[in-house]
Amino acid sequence: MSTDAVVTTLSTEDRPVRKAPRRPKPAPGTKRLSPLRVIGTVIVWLFTAFNIMVLYWLLGAAFKTPLEIFRDPLALPSQLFKSGRPFRNFIYAWDTADFGTAFLNTVLLVAVCSVVIVLISAPAAYALSRLGVRGSGPLTGFIAIGMGIPFQTVVIPLFIVLAKVNLTNNLFGLGLMYVALSLPFTVFLLTGFFRSLPDELEEASAIDGASPTRTFWSIMLPLARGGLITALILNAIGLWNETLLAIVFLQENANFTLSRALFTFYNAASYQSEYGGLLAGVAIIVLPMLVLYILLARRIITGLTLGAGK
Amino acid sequence: MTAQLSSPPALGSTPRAGGGTPAAHVARRKRLFWPFLIPTLVLYGLFLIVPTIATVVLSFSDWKGAGDTPKFNGITQYTRIFADDAFQSAFVNSLIYIAVGGIGTFILAFLFTMVLRDMRGNKIIRAILFFPNIVAPVALGMFFGIVYRYQPGRQGLANFLLESVGLKAAKFLEADVVTWVVLGSIVWASSGFYITILMAAVDRIPPYLYEDASIAGASPWQKFRNITLPLTWDVVGIAGVLWTINAVKIFELVFVMAGSGTYAPPIHSWTLGIFVFDRSFGDTPAYGTACACAVVMILLVSVFVVALRRLLRREAIQF
């Protein structure tokens, strides 16, 4: 179609690419190794090593007996492997806390909510950043204020109202809240992405006769794909880890999300001194995030810190 | 060209292919504004703005919760909570998290940024330091609960390390010190986030400024004071706002670390978030009181945000 042609012609067009200034090599003799710098470097490396050790300790402890966790915290796990049941802690946590149901609930809730959040936020962000309607600026600011409202301030009225319409202890009700409360951040994030897109493409598609809605769907959305995916991932991470609302709004085991189930499991497991099982539970909620992070670290880091820079 | 689309042309609108004048096209585009925005505004209003207003209104009432009707009694709730021990320690602790934690995080982040700036492998180090930011606070709290465990003979990792270098084990999770231990853990966990923000800002500073300063014989501190700080000032301000927003709602980490298995942690360790939770969903609900505390939380955020803006407002330096 004509619109596709527009995209290809314009994106292959040569633009002067500005390179970031490369840091020149210091002249010989100017680079001194100050003691301060050496100490700083050592501290940074120690701090980093400590982070890695902590992660190793967590993953190792999930395969250990309580005695091993406390006696030889830094040794590799051995007892459970010797007895032929290396995943004993995971099985214990999975069964006792009903993590199976919780896992399914969480994956479903997080997937649906993240998609819905982006579907609602993208048009709003587009409207606020590109349509040039008067008042867009203040309106964007008004929505951004929502990022500063702590959940604790809205939780009581929401609980009362949702209890009236039977949406407490209900994953749909929780999902509704997740969507609504994630909008300010997502809209704010996406306005940044839409604002950075070039004007020429919109203009060209208008000249080619595309309707404004079509311009949005087939030109602007695909162009902002990077931003949309970032928004999707960041929301998924945030909701995966969300605990406060889940604690307040879910009471029945069958509806629990992972963080909610872990919260309940904590009391039971520490009462029974099941520290291995407890850390296996922690690992179950952390591992999917770790995998996601290893795959997408750059995108996650830039996305989360985007709003703060320029 | 751009201006034609974003603002209606005054005159001379020539017909274009695809029908309609530019003016007509602009008008058609603008017609999308409300349909695109309304779903967001409706949900935002229903789930954030209206409940916030409701909380403010309810904070002027005495209301135990379900089965009771709110009786409006002016600012009684506010005078009552400020005389309440639990609220006082929650308020002080939240202030500690915001102010001490904020300053600590920024000193740490700046030091790291200065060292990481020209260190090999800084991207990987940054990624490793960033990771705790995407771990659920509940999971972090439980994990720290075991790391800081005190039980002679079966010490957690922290005490194990202390004992292995010949020091005495410490009771990290006792009510009177747990706030500082949680604070340290939060600073540790979130440092990667602020290091990343500051590093992005520092990276934009042209290197020749530092070279000039070196030639003029500036010390590292002088370079930091006269180049780095003024040129990253606006980013520091935004990061400060983000820190405040996050620090005021600290909840899960304290709840889990200080609670250690029991239901509610001792009141010495409370934060405003825990106070609201306890008064609304704890053993003896008092919704009016909880709402008053929630309003204090919003006011605290606003005060800090306005103060930070004031404090950090400088002439924007173009470079």
Residue A125 sits in a domain of what CATH number?
1.10.3720.10
* Residue A133, pLDDT score: 87
Residue A25 inside a domain? The answer is no
Q: Is residue B139 a contact partner of residue A286, using CB atoms and an 8 Å limit?
A: yes
Residue A108 inside a domain? The answer is yes
Residue A29 inside a domain? The answer is no
> Within 13 A of B123's CA, how many CA atoms are on the CB side?
4
Rounded to 5°, the CA angle B203-B207-B213 comes to: 125
Residue A11 inside a domain? The answer is no
| Pair A78, A156 in one domain | no
Q: Is residue A239 a contact partner of residue A180, using CB atoms and an 8 Å limit?
A: no
* Residue B10, pLDDT score: 42
Tens-digit pLDDT profile for residues B164-180: 888 888 888 887 788 99
Residue range B78-312 forms a domain whose CATH class is: mainly alpha
| Pair A72, A94 in one domain | no
Task: Name every chain A residue with its beta carbon within 8 A of the beta carbon of B137.
Answer: 241, 243
| Pair A126, A167 in one domain | yes
- Structure tokens that stand for A57 in this block: 């300790």
- Structure tokens that stand for A30 in this block: 């100017």
| Pair A93, A202 in one domain | yes
Please, which residues have CB within 8 angstroms of residue A31's CB and are 6 or more apart in sequence? none
Helix or strand holding residue B96 (H, E): helix B85-117
Determine the residue of chain B that is closest to A267 in CA distance: B261
Q: How far apart are CA A125 and CA A139, in angstroms?
A: 11
Facing residue for B261 by CB, picked from A48, A202, A270: A270
Residue A259 inside a domain? The answer is yes
Q: In the predicted model, is pLDDT for residue B9 greater than 70?
A: no
* Residue B21, pLDDT score: 67
Q: Name the pTM for this structure.
A: 0.84
Please, which residues have CB within 8 angstroms of residue B40's CB and are 6 or more apart in sequence? A120, A121, A124, A143, A183, A187
Other C-beta atoms lying within 10 Å of the C-beta of residue A26: 12
Helix or strand holding residue B71 (H, E): strand B71-72
Please, which residues have CB within 8 angstroms of residue B97's CB and are 6 or more apart in sequence? B179, B183, B186, B247, B248, B250, B271
Q: Is residue B171 a contact partner of residue B165, using CB atoms and an 8 Å limit?
A: no
| Pair A159, A71 in one domain | no
| Pair A98, A235 in one domain | yes
Measured between CA atoms, how close is B302 to chain A, in angstroms?
Answer: 9
| Pair A67, A156 in one domain | no
* Residue A26, pLDDT score: 54
Q: How far apart are CA B257 and CA B146, in angstroms?
A: 9
Please give the average per-residue pLDDT across A140-161, as a whole number.
92
Band the pLDDT of A106: cuts 50, 70, 90: very high
* Residue B20, pLDDT score: 55
Tell me which residue of B244, B200, B313, B311 sits closest to A310, measured CA to CA.
Answer: B200
Helix or strand holding residue B61 (H, E): strand B61-62
End-to-end distance of chain B based on CA atoms, in angstroms?
Answer: 28
Q: How far apart are CA B49 and CA A40, in angstroms?
A: 46
Q: In the predicted model, is pLDDT for residue A7 greater than 60?
A: no
- Structure tokens that stand for B138 in this block: 């509940």
Q: How far apart are CA A44 and CA B113, in angstroms?
A: 10
Residue A285: domain span: 89-305
Identify the residue among A149, A234, A237 best suited for mutation to test binding to B, counting B beta carbons within 10 A and taking the highest: A149
Among A57, A86, A115, the domain boundary falls at A86
| Pair A74, A96 in one domain | no
Burial class of B6 by CB neighbour count within 10 A (0 to 12, 13 to 18, 19+): middle
Q: What are phi and psi of A251, to 5 degrees?
A: -115, -20
Identify the residue among B26, B42, B47 best suited for mutation to test binding to A, counting A beta carbons within 10 A and taking the highest: B47
Band the pLDDT of A20: cuts 50, 70, 90: low
Residue A173 inside a domain? The answer is yes
| Pair A82, A93 in one domain | no
Band the pLDDT of A308: cuts 50, 70, 90: low
What is the identity of the amino acid at B157? L
| Pair A237, A102 in one domain | yes
Residue A26 inside a domain? The answer is no
- Per the listing, tokens 């270098």 go with B165
| Pair A141, A175 in one domain | yes
* Residue A23, pLDDT score: 58
CB contact (8 A) between residue A308 and residue B197: yes
- Structure tokens that stand for A234 in this block: 């960041």
Q: Which of residues 60-79 of B touch A (CB under 8 A)?
A: 66
The percentage of chain A sitting over the pLDDT mark of 90, rounded to a whole number, equals 38
Determine the residue of chain A that is closest to B149 in CA distance: A70
Q: Is residue B251 a contact partner of residue B271, using CB atoms and an 8 Å limit?
A: yes
End-to-end distance of chain A based on CA atoms, in angstroms?
Answer: 36
Q: How far apart are CA A21 and CA A15, in angstroms?
A: 18
- Structure tokens that stand for A223 in this block: 């162009």
| Pair A193, A55 in one domain | no
User: Cα B181 to chain center, whole Å?
Assistant: 18
* Crossing angle of helices B272-281 and B252-259, rounded to 10°: 80
Number of domains in chain A: 2
* Residue B18, pLDDT score: 45
Please give the average per-residue pLDDT across A117-144, as a whole number.
92
Q: Is residue A81 a contact partner of residue A63, using CB atoms and an 8 Å limit?
A: yes
Residue A17 inside a domain? The answer is no
Q: Best-predicted range by mean pLDDT among A5-14, A126-135, A276-285, B44-53?
A: B44-53
Band the pLDDT of A16: cuts 50, 70, 90: low
